[in-house]
Structure 1
Amino acid sequence: MIIISILLVSCSKSFTGAEAALQGQPTGTAFWANADAATAGRAVTAIYANLRSWNNVGMAPVCLENMGSDDAVKGSVANDATYVNLYDNFTVTASEGQLDGFWIGQYQNVNFCNEVIDNLPNISMDASLKARYIGEAKFVRAYSYFRLVRAFGNIPLVLSLPSTAEELNPKQVSSAKVYLAIEQDLTDAATVLPATYGPADIGRATKGAALALHAKVAMYQNKWSDVLTYTKQVMQSGVYSLFPDYYGMFRIANENCSESIFEIQCNYVAGNGDLSNSQYAQIQGNRDANAGWGFDVPTQNLVNAFETGDPRLQATVMMEGTVTPSGDAVPMASAGAPTMYNMKTYVPFAVATADNQGADQNFRVLRYADVLLMNAEANNQLGNTADALASLEMVRARARAQSVNPLVDLPKITTTDQTTLRTDIWHERRVELAMENDRYFDVIRQGRAATIFGPLGWKANKNEVWPIPQVEIDKSGGVLVQNQGY
């Protein structure tokens, strides 16, 4: 925790706050003076520690990465955190605080990574470990920039520790340039990261994580040949497989299972607050069961999207008056409270008490089913219908095997029409990855947002991105430019 505090001081509150960066710079310099391999290891650990912070997995990402979709609505009770509604109905303005929280969280990650990437080459240590550490930092930097570019479009691209006045107050670059930098980081990371780790290093970025994220980044740019290349490498690695129990996959006991490609590791420590305890599950836990705050709840629209007999519905949506597969009786909603909750963040009610309302729950970032569906979509786009159907069927077969009537439920998709199959794959992405922060950006990159989100208030040529936080524009002295329509 000491190393986290030191490095946090060395980074500005945001990369556009030049005075804060200058103020903290001597502490960062002092930290790296006479650094050794142990120092490097602590610095890399700090990168992972910050990933589970409030601005990375708390309310800000819930608002920016899921609330705009047709999968979720605010939840909780009417007078609690009413600002969440602004993301749900697309009336948010640049002054809303979650925008800046998300911005700060991602750029803190970037600065942690730049500290390692810039300083490690000067340290005398084992060359392969040094390369791995730098690869881990590049993976996390790519992940943070991917979150930023999806959310905001044109953003500052900071790839080294700032030193000049211009570097301390950088201009925005095009999203295309950001994507190029992300892809370079992931290419570099995949070259040096191991396929697996031993038990002591579970949760670190792997070669498969870099390849899977690269596939997703390529998908957002319609680079279908690249998507196919990277997903095939993951599929042929022999490291990953679909976990047989879809519901069980999201429980704490099965974190980092065979399907997990990258998870943000969260471990409950009593009284430790944001330093180690994630609040992602707490935000979404069942309010009436005193298991959380009850935000970011599923919609009836999402419930209706599941096919009859799809067991993933029960594993995704916790409904009032039912009993969870883990044996908790879900209470009927009190006045004004939600009637449904996100089952994927569920922690048994007996555990979700006091400050441990899901604090142990890992944040799933990448899993193998996502890779299979990206592979299916890429194959379909490239005219490889049989391969597309095969990858799609693997995902459906896992769900079908857990259904009550496996001979009837979730029949195989057999269409060879490219347009129809594309729609089927998009549907499968929705139900398979529901409430996992993909649906909103998926629909936008598919070009369907005006049709699907339009009735919710979404407007073309504006809501493809969120507004740049006004506080960052102000701190930059106008160097940063607001997105169109805000």
Structure 2
Amino acid sequence: MKAKFIPLYIIALSITSFSCKKFLDPKPPKNVTSAGLAFQDEKIATSTVLGMYTSMNGYNSQFASGFLSTLMSITADDYYYAATSYDAYKNNSLLPSTSYLDRMWSQPYAIIGQANSVIEGVANSSLSPSVKAQLTGEAKFVRAFCYFYLVNMFNKVPLVKDTDVFKNNNLPQSTKQEVYDFITQDLVDAVGNLGDAYPSAERVRPNKKAAQALLARVYLYTEKWDLAESTASLVIADNRYKIPEDLKSVFLKTSEEAIWQLLTVNTSTAGVNTWEGFSIVPTTTTGNPLYRVYQTTLDAFANTDKRKLDWTTEQVYNSVSYRYPSKYKYRTATPVTEYNTVLRLAEQYLIRAEARANIGTPAKISEAVNDLNVLRGRADVDLLSSSLSKPDALLAVENERHFELLGEWGHRWFDLVRTNRAVQVLSVTKANGFTASDMFIPIHENILKTNTNLKPND
């Protein structure tokens, strides 16, 4: 049997500086141990699982450390970057040669490789059944999470299900439906394996409700309205999660709204709370706020909306006032008070509202409006009427998702694309217009060179 290798903390992140190498390298990095040894010891096996989260949040400008949120927000109409670095995203002129697109592919696959190693290693180990279930559940959750973003960015992607790198380096792309079926099964398995209790003192490792929260999103995206409604309801019913009145508390590491967060890992820059805050918050109170919320987006908020007042910040630069996104308040601060929040309760209300609005009966639309009003009430804006028509209810959901989830994890971009609203909405905001072809994110040319079976995005 060929030896398999797994990382203890960080898989070979040289994948990030991608060239023409295979995106799955059969040679193990130096900081690994063979799976046969690692998974005979519970502490080492758990450390290997924790290494997945370190890989996701250990460095700046990585897929899961705020970079996906930044790039997709700029590509949509959340905010833009005032310098030229991300003009291709702001202008929706992405090409296979555009910088950073390779990271959005190679980094999720690196994490998927880690998850596959965990799943195989645990299955062949002598660990206790409860530990096997927990670690397998976490790995399947993380694998599903990565595939969710891969398929929503690139539509058709290879399904890497194991650690056979020689086979996987030449896999063809699976259809979007095949990928979603795989994601759904991974999350159903994760729900079955994970316990209700968090396996850590903080909410930085997924539990059953985290898996259900992501599964509810998947059901929404695949238009399984009844399942999206019922699964989101399971999360909402858990009294550990609350919608706090104080918006400034939502992204703290102690947030009662958080369902899953990424633990702060300062591997290169002391005092970082979140890499998103480190990138976006201006260096001084008089400095240039390079990340600026689109004026059309600011104008869409009600004047009293606390989300505009508390989650964006005004700064004057060269006698001009700009607002920058400020859900995360700190570039650096000690001790750490903010964690990168991945899943939170407000999204579950929005998922349930959209599912109910799509079911479309008067009773369900009334319930959808009630869900939206939970968030509108917290934001101090007028409550919606329960007698909205179905089209008006769906538009209200779209707007509420924009206000509530602005700048988070690419939600706005994925929402506009999946509902086929991108052209109508973004052609108003984008100075150079927006056409249907702009909805497709190309696979980077260096990625295409690694596998002759890969085809460019449609």
Q: Distance between the aligned counterparts of 2:136 and 2:271, measured in 1?
A: 23
> Which residue is 2:280 aligned to?
284
* More displaced stretch, 136-145 vs 309-318: 309-318
**Per-residue Cα deviation, 1:140-183 (whole angstroms, up to 9, x for no partner):** 111111111111111111011124x3323222111111111100
Secondary structure at 1:366 match in 2? strand
- Asked if 1 retains the 8 angstrom alpha-carbon contact of 2:70 and 2:407, the reply is no
> Which residue is 1:361 aligned to?
338
Q: Distance between the aligned counterparts of 2:14 and 2:87, measured in 1?
A: 35
Q: Which runs of 5+ in 1 are unaligned?
A: 321-331, 404-408
> How far off its partner does 1:197 sit?
2.2
| Mapping 1:203-242, distance limit 5 Å | 203-242=204-243
Change (3 A) 1:384 1:262: farther
Secondary structure at 1:453 match in 2? helix
Q: Distance between the aligned counterparts of 1:29 and 1:169, measured in 2?
A: 26
Q: Distance between the aligned counterparts of 2:219 and 2:46, measured in 1?
A: 31
Task: Select 2:416's aligned residue among 427, 443, 447.
Answer: 443
Q: Distance between the aligned counterparts of 1:13 and 1:150, measured in 2?
A: 23
> Which residue is 1:326 aligned to?
none
| Mapping 1:227-266, distance limit 5 Å | 227-250=228-251, 252=252, 255-266=253-264
Task: Output the TM-score relative to the length of structure 2.
Answer: 0.88
> Which residue is 2:4 aligned to?
none
- Asked if 1 retains the 8 angstrom alpha-carbon contact of 2:354 and 2:368, the reply is no
Task: Select 1:23's aligned residue among 23, 27, 33.
Answer: 27
> How far off its partner does 1:375 sit?
0.5
- Asked if 2 retains the 8 angstrom alpha-carbon contact of 1:261 and 1:366, the reply is yes
Q: Which amino acid aligns with 2:81?
A: K
> Which residue is 2:46 aligned to?
41
- Asked if 2 retains the 8 angstrom alpha-carbon contact of 1:10 and 1:27, the reply is no
> How far off its partner does 1:46 sit?
0.3
Q: Distance between the aligned counterparts of 1:12 and 1:67, measured in 2?
A: 21
> Which residue is 1:114 aligned to?
116
> How far off its partner does 1:414 sit?
2.4
> How far off its partner does 1:282 sit?
1.2
| Mapping 1:386-397, distance limit 5 Å | 386-397=363-374
**Per-residue Cα deviation, 1:290-318 (whole angstroms, up to 9, x for no partner):** 88x84442111111111232222111211
Secondary structure at 1:339 match in 2? strand
What is the identity percentage for the equivalent residue pairs of Structure 1 and Structure 2?
Answer: 24
> Which residue is 2:193 aligned to?
192
Q: Distance between the aligned counterparts of 2:291 and 2:351, measured in 1?
A: 25
> Which residue is 1:141 aligned to?
143
Change (3 A) 1:279 1:9: closer
- Asked if 1 retains the 8 angstrom alpha-carbon contact of 2:93 and 2:438, the reply is no
> How far off its partner does 1:366 sit?
1.3
Change (3 A) 1:310 1:238: same
> How far off its partner does 1:342 sit?
0.8
Change (3 A) 1:290 1:217: farther
Task: Select 1:297's aligned residue among 292, 298, 303.
Answer: 292
Task: Output the TM-score relative to the length of structure 1.
Answer: 0.83
Q: Distance between the aligned counterparts of 1:395 and 1:262, measured in 2?
A: 22
Q: Distance between the aligned counterparts of 1:172 and 1:93, measured in 2?
A: 20
Q: Distance between the aligned counterparts of 2:352 and 2:226, measured in 1?
A: 10
> How far off its partner does 1:85 sit?
1.1
- Asked if 1 retains the 8 angstrom alpha-carbon contact of 2:402 and 2:412, the reply is yes
**Per-residue Cα deviation, 1:372-426 (whole angstroms, up to 9, x for no partner):** 11101111211344444345435534543564xxxxx413332241111111121
Q: Which amino acid aligns with 1:470?
A: E
- Asked if 2 retains the 8 angstrom alpha-carbon contact of 1:378 and 1:388, the reply is no
> Which residue is 1:3 aligned to?
8
> Which residue is 1:317 aligned to?
312
> How far off its partner does 1:210 sit?
0.9
Q: Which amino acid aligns with 2:285?
A: A
Q: Which runs of 5+ in 2 are unaligned?
A: 1-6
Q: Distance between the aligned counterparts of 1:379 and 1:402, measured in 2?
A: 22
Task: Select 2:78's aligned residue among 52, 71, 79.
Answer: 71
Q: Which amino acid aligns with 1:483?
A: N
Q: Distance between the aligned counterparts of 2:196 and 2:244, measured in 1?
A: 18
Change (3 A) 1:275 1:219: farther
Kindly report the root-mean-square deviation, in angstroms, between the aligned alpha carbons of the 2 structures: 3.0
> How far off its partner does 1:288 sit?
4.0
> How far off its partner does 1:33 sit?
2.6
> Which residue is 2:327 aligned to?
344
Q: Distance between the aligned counterparts of 1:88 and 1:245, measured in 2?
A: 32
Q: Distance between the aligned counterparts of 2:136 and 2:73, measured in 1?
A: 31
Task: Select 1:159's aligned residue among 161, 186, 192.
Answer: 161
- Asked if 2 retains the 8 angstrom alpha-carbon contact of 1:90 and 1:463, the reply is yes
> How far off its partner does 1:40 sit?
0.7
Q: Distance between the aligned counterparts of 2:270 and 2:85, measured in 1?
A: 22
- Whether 1:423 and 2:418 are equivalent positions in the alignment is no
Change (3 A) 1:363 1:85: same
Q: Distance between the aligned counterparts of 2:137 and 2:435, measured in 1?
A: 39
- Whether 1:333 and 2:331 are equivalent positions in the alignment is no
Secondary structure at 1:154 match in 2? coil
> Which residue is 1:61 aligned to?
68
- Whether 1:377 and 2:354 are equivalent positions in the alignment is yes
Change (3 A) 1:211 1:277: same
- Asked if 1 retains the 8 angstrom alpha-carbon contact of 2:35 and 2:121, the reply is no
- Asked if 2 retains the 8 angstrom alpha-carbon contact of 1:12 and 1:24, the reply is no
Change (3 A) 1:161 1:85: same
Aligned residue pairs total 445
> Which residue is 1:132 aligned to?
134
Q: Distance between the aligned counterparts of 2:105 and 2:85, measured in 1?
A: 17
Change (3 A) 1:295 1:133: farther
Change (3 A) 1:13 1:435: closer
